[in-house]
A and B are shown apart, each in its own frame.
Chain A
Amino acid sequence: MAIEVKIPTILRTYTAGAKAVDGSGETLSALIDDLDASHPGIKGRLITDDGGLHRFVNVYVNDEDVRFTGSLDTALKDGDAVTILPAVAGG
């Protein structure tokens, strides 16, 4: 099971500069755990201490924002494409 994950510039320090990496998992939550095993520390940039998705990042599965598809419980299958982007926002 391979899921391509696009990594934003700010998180490429965890992926040795790679713009995309492969991971696996049946849910987004499992995928992030898998990513963290290969790229230690990346999970902490995506998930808050309370276990929710960080508000500073947007995660898309096949171009759909996961906030509308079950967040970390979003189901994944082989061949899905995941994109992580930092939110662009401010005051």
Chain B
Amino acid sequence: MLSIDRDTRDAILAHARREHPDEACGVVAGAEGSDRPARLLPMRNAARSPTFYEFDSADLLQLYQEMAAKDEEPVVIYHSHTATEAYPSRTDVTYASEPNAHYVLVSTRAADVDEFRSFRIVDGVVTEEPVEVVESYA
């Protein structure tokens, strides 16, 4: 299960709306082993595409160096689909390589409906998981 606070969830949805019709992407970092998404880090989609996203290679290095310095890891890796459902595409599965991360998919295909779903993607196997939205972490 993914447990995420409402502000972070809403900020991910807003990021996806802002980038539409291109895909939005980013990370929510959290303390290593905590499984708690704490620090939202929206990333640039270097592909600037409605059907593909990619972290810029220099941005990626900087992101991981910053997380390592803070003893953090990517608890959530998110991106949006702009014309299809919020479910991992074949490409998403091929690239997925953080076995501990929650892969969050958002869809902006409908202007008035928010889709926010979370998955584990391990060894090419996609498993959807429930999302629990909490007001805040005590």
Contacts and interface: CB of A to CB of B under 8 A. Distances in A.
B61 interface: yes
Contacts of B79: 90
Nearest to A45: B97
Instruction: Tell me what chain B mostly uses at the interface: helix, strand, loop, or mixed.
Output: mixed
Contacts of A8: 97
A63 interface: yes
Contact of B57 (A9, A10, A65, A91): A65
A83 interface: yes
Interface string A59-72: 01001010100000
Contacts of A58: 57, 60-61
B99 A88 contact: no
Given A9-B73, A9-B100, A88 B95 contact: yes
A89 interface: yes
B89 interface: yes
Contacts of B34: none
A59 to B, nearest CB: 10
Interface string B83-100: 000001111101111111
B53 interface: yes
B88 A90 contact: yes
Given A91-B51, A91-B52, A85 B89 contact: no
9 contacts: A9-B100, A56-B95, A58-B61, A60-B61, A65-B57, A88-B25, A88-B77, A89-B95, A91-B52
